[in-house]
Each structure stands twice: as structure tokens, then as C-alpha cells.
Amino acid sequence: MQMRDEMLRAACFASLDVLCAQFGDDVPYKDGLDRGFPHGGARVPFLSPQKGIFRAAAQTGPAALSINTSSKSPYGDAEVDDGYLYAYRAGSVDQPDNRALRQAFALQVPLVYFVATRPGWYRPLYPSYIAADDPVAQRVLVSPGQLVGPLDERDPEPLENPIERRYAVRETRVRLHQAVFRGRVLRAYSNTCTICRLKEDRLLDAAHIAGDLEAHGEPIVPNGLALCSIHHRAYDQQLVGVSPDYEVHVSKRLLEEEDGPMLELLKGFHAQPIVLPKRAAWKPDRERLAERFERFVAST
């Protein structure tokens, strides 16, 4: 139906599938989302980073195609059990952006909720639906939907079952917080593995020093270390440790093994200092490191 822009929305979701396959869960704006998606022989933008609510000029229907949240307030939109509360654009309830947002509720069309997890990167949550509209509080409730049916012919639909919906919201929230944590830690370390200095965004993780289920396991920069995939795994497996005086320790087990260039590479960082963030407030917390290092020493 023209009012619902079904073909255009389907093209948008299909292109997001491709971008997520290429980049992972978070997609960059530059050289990614800024290319838009093909529809009707033209390219249609996914979103407008300058303003939160976006309706594309190519649409025939009145409802928004996407909404976004800036990296300055990645989950500044209040989280509730059934989704996220998303504020209208400030000013008149009846201005075009707010009309497009409210039409998405009235028509119950699927849209994309782009959450910025770090500057210039977005996690697209799609299909999302506007599940409630509150013109007095000037905000809507954004809830997750699902794509059903065989691949390539998947149809978006809202998650009607409240238990399923709450479960989906919780899952998404955990993953969003992890993404935001990763973004902050990687930025603090200038996208560098603190042990081997590898600078390849796609191979870097944010490792917790104190695990997220432990006391002091908060997802804050001083509880994080930027590590490449190999060093992250080695750190989690107690094959490398970081002492509270910021030195790399390689486990005896690994030091005594002899084979192979990769192993030499791992062993080579033994007794080397780690790379530290420039800002004092971002440096790894010595107490958390000490606690973790004790366990490393005990296991080797």
C-alpha cells in the first residue's frame, strides 16, 4: 500500500541486512549509512543525523522511516520494560517531524530506530514500531518488532506477546550497553590493543577487568581494557595477565611452550608495559587490576 511505503521499507531493511553483514551490529555513518539504499532507481537516505525523526522525500506515505538517538545521549531515551521512550521534536506537536512520528503510530508501520553507540556509528534496531503515542508528554514508546517468514521474503510485524516483547527489549538493552562500553573503551585507547598495539577496529574488543557479574564489574572505562581478539581471549583464559603496575605477564604455560610464530608473538609482550589512555580518569583501575591479577597468578 502506498500509504505505508511497504516496498521502500522492505528495501531499507534488506540494505541494512547487507550493511550489518559487512560491518557487524554497528554500522558507520560515513561510507556506510550515508550511501543510502536503492529504491525505484534512486538512492534513498536511511536517516538524518542532524534531526532525530526522518521521513524520506521518496516516500508517498506520511509516516517516518527512521528515528535516531545521538551518541551524546545513547540511551538518554528512557528505557522501560516494553521499549524506549522517544521524545517528540521540541516545539509544536504539529510540526512535520512530529506528524511523521505520530503517523508511524497511527498506521503501525515498521521503522528503524538508529541508536548511536559511539560518534559516527549506529546500531539499527529494525523493525521497530511505535507502540504508544502520548501527545501530552510529547513522546512515543518505541517497541521491537520481528521479521517473519523465509529469508528474502520476510515480513515485519510487531511483537504482540508482552513476555516476548519484554525479553527482546532486555536482550537489546544488554547488547546496546555492551556496544556503548566498547565504544567508550576503544576511544579511550585510541583504537589500539593495549598489549600489542594493533590498530584495527574490527579486531578490537573492550574487555572487562572485573567481570560484569562481579562486584565492581560496571561497564565504565576504568574497568575496561582495549584488547585485540587474540589478547582478549588470552586474557579471559588467564594466558596473559596485566599487573596493577600496568605490565603484561604471559603465563608460564605459554612461556614454556616453544612452537610457532604466533606463540612467539604472544610471548614477546611478556614484561612489556601496556598502552595507557592519555586521560588519567580513563586509566585502568589498579584495584580492579590487582584483584584480577591475583587470579591470573593463582592459575599459572
- The residue type of 95 is Q
Q: How far is the CB of 266 from Zn ion (least distance, A)?
A: 9
Cis peptide before 127 (omega within 30 of 0): yes
Closer residue to Zn ion, CB minimum distance, 186 or 196: 196
Q: What CA dihedral angle connects 168, 171, 172 and 176, to 10 degrees?
A: 170
Closer residue to Zn ion, CB minimum distance, 111 or 228: 228
Closer residue to Zn ion, CB minimum distance, 39 or 231: 231
Closer residue to Zn ion, CB minimum distance, 85 or 275: 275
Closer residue to Zn ion, CB minimum distance, 87 or 198: 198
Sort strands 155-158 and 42-44 into parallel, antiparallel or unpaired: unpaired
Q: How far is the CB of 193 from Zn ion (least distance, A)?
A: 3
Residue 288: all three cell numbers together: 580492579
What's the rounded Cα separation, in Å, for the pair 123 and 82? 19
Q: How far is the CB of 223 from Zn ion (least distance, A)?
A: 19
Q: How far is the CB of 119 from Zn ion (least distance, A)?
A: 24
Q: How far is the CB of 279 from Zn ion (least distance, A)?
A: 21
Q: How far is the CB of 281 from Zn ion (least distance, A)?
A: 24
Q: How far is the CB of 240 from Zn ion (least distance, A)?
A: 9
Residue 224 backbone class (left: φ over 0; alpha: ψ -120 to 50; beta: rest): beta
CA of 91: how far to CAs of 94, 105, 178, in Å?
9, 19, 33
Residue 178: all three cell numbers together: 555492551
| Residue ranges that bind Zn ion, judged by CB under 5 A | 193, 195-196, 198, 228, 231
Q: What is the 3-state secondary structure (H, E, C) of 102-171?
A: HHHHHHCCCEEEEEEEECCEEEEEEEEEEEEEECCCCEEEEEEEEEECCCCCCEEEECCCHHHHHHHHHH
Cβ(124)–Cβ(87) under 8 Å? no
Closer residue to Zn ion, CB minimum distance, 102 or 231: 231
Closer residue to Zn ion, CB minimum distance, 186 or 195: 195
